[in-house]
Amino acid sequence: MNSAKDHIGKKKMRQASNRSKPVGKKLELAKARNLVGVVLCFLGMGISDAIAQSMAIFPSCGKPGDSIEICGSGWAEPVPPCDYWFLLNGTEVAPRQPDGLFGPPNTFFTIPDIPPGNYPVLTELRLTKGGALIQAKQKTLEVVDKTEQPLSAALEDGDHAIRITYDPDKACFNECTAIYFIQTRNTRRILDDGTNEHLPYNEAPHFWDNGGEIEATFVNDVAVDRVYSGQVPYYGIPPGAAQVGSKVPIGPSQPAWLYDRPQRPDSVYADNVNTIKINFEVNVFCGAGEMAGRWLGSRMTWMWSRDEGLDPETRGTVTIGAIEDGQPTGAFTAALDKWIELQPGLIPGNPRFDLPESPFEQCSNGL
């Protein structure tokens, strides 16, 4: 998503405003009209709206050139027309946004070339005519000279297993009380002639219980990597092969981790199959807190592979792929959408699952 362009023409607007300032009785009349407009705005928003007013910035830190989202919820929808102003350290950094039918504040700006430090990000709701202030909220943006990657991976048990860790203390956000991993798998079989194709779960000898239902969750050979009976798409939850992470404004953070150790014995290799490979994509998701409903901007790939005829106790080889900033791939999101679509009817008695949504209206779902 492209960042909003910097506000243009502020100086000319100020000059035009100075030239048109009323004097004497005209000044008093203008002030009175402005006051009436402010009263009408407050009458239009109501007490409950004022209490519910909120603002968020995503992420809450970054380096010059990074894109920052401003969004919110519960702001007034006043009459007469008003505009949102977006300021970083007192300077407008995004175009003004009309209120009313355009909804609560939602925009992006690019961090300018400024020194590291903490800077106020202010959203103001002002009358379009006259500029009287109606509402305002402020957050703090930490500008840094570089950002660290919160996601890491390490081989365990030789190179037969992997542990993936997400350290929220290295991440640019204030609060997420439930940090989860979602992992997809693409299971492949390499034939003796070199053909590389999907390895089904309902075809002997690689036949699993409920293999047909498992196969139904695949989209273009990719599926969410969950046990058949799982009620949520989060890897290893209920806890066992994973730990839920958290980050709160006050108090210690809790890293999230997952552990995986795939295995395929010789008995599941067909006569013409030489190698079984599984390609994985891992993304990090916030399920609760200020960041709820958002991908946390880190993803990675890894692979497990085993040739037929190895020692049955050998679990194959794990290879760590790319660890990078970014959002889930299209193949990943298609598989997750399919899993959510099928979940209520796939396993009798399982409740419907929906990914948590952002508590802020009109906020995007990713960083």
Q: Is residue 329 part of a domain?
A: yes
Residues 195 and 332 in one domain: yes
What's the confidence (pLDDT) of residue 101? 59
pLDDT at 188: 98
89 and 60 belong to one structural domain: yes
Please indicate, yes or no, if residue 363 is contained in any of the structural domains: no
Q: Determine, yes or no, domain membership for 215.
A: yes
Shared-domain flag, residues 89 and 174: no
Residues 137 and 164 placed together within one structural domain of the fold: no
We report the CATH number of the domain holding residue 77 as: 2.60.40.2550
Specify the pLDDT at position 198: 98
Q: Range of 62's domain? A: 10-143
- Which residues, given as ranges, of the chain have pLDDT below 70? 1-52, 100-102, 239, 345-348, 361-362, 364-367
105, 161: one domain: no
Mean pLDDT of the chain: 83
Report which of 320, 254, 325, 221 is spatially closest to residue 283, judged by C-alpha positions: 325
Give the domain-ending residue among 88, 123, 143: 143
Do 188 and 133 belong to one domain? no
Q: In this structure, are 91 and 222 located in the same domain?
A: no
* Residue 157 vs residues 185, 259, 302: alpha-carbon distances, Å: 21, 11, 16
In a domain, 76, yes or no: yes
User: Could you read off the pLDDT of 310-320 as tens digits, one per residue?
Assistant: 887 778 999 99
Q: Give how many domains the chain has, as a whole number.
A: 2
Q: What is the pLDDT of residue 23?
A: 36
Q: Over the stretch 48-102, which tens digit does the pLDDT of each residue have?
A: 344 468 888 888 888 999 889 998 888 877 777 899 999 999 999 999 998 865 6
